[in-house]
Amino acid sequence: MPEPILISIAAALAAKAATGIYDLVKKKFSKDPAAIAELEAASTDQPETITAIAERLEVAGKEDPEFAAALREQYQQEAEVINQFSGTARNVVQARDIQGGISFS
């Protein structure tokens, strides 16, 4: 199972929510048509595609530590602006700074 950060990165890629990360990964996968097809077909509606991308990222990172470092750095830069939720919940709040309280009626 890939590291949780790789799952988060893969989810951001599937949501097409992080263009810098997407461009970095697409460039890395450019010589692997199957990886590119998987990346482009990824969807947050299909958790198996997120897992598959995370696994590819894990392998690529082990083979190329510079890519792994660049990927994590880019994710840290973009993570502050990525709001995502995947799963089932009754109430979800995605926020950065909240002044006061939150309540659900």
Instruction: Give residue-wise pLDDT tens across range 64-86.
Output: 999 999 999 999 888 655 566 67
Least Cα distance to 6 among 64, 41, 39, 52 occurs for 52
In whole angstroms, give the CA distance from residue 77 to residue 88.
28
Structure tokens at 99: 């002044």
pLDDT for res 83: 62
Least Cα distance to 50 among 13, 75, 87, 24 occurs for 13
Beta strands in the chain (DSSP E): none
Handedness of CA 53, 55, 59, 62 (dihedral sign): positive
Instruction: Give residue-wise pLDDT tens across range 3-15.
Output: 988 998 998 898 8
pTM (2 d.p.): 0.72
CB neighbours of residue 39 within 10 Å: 22
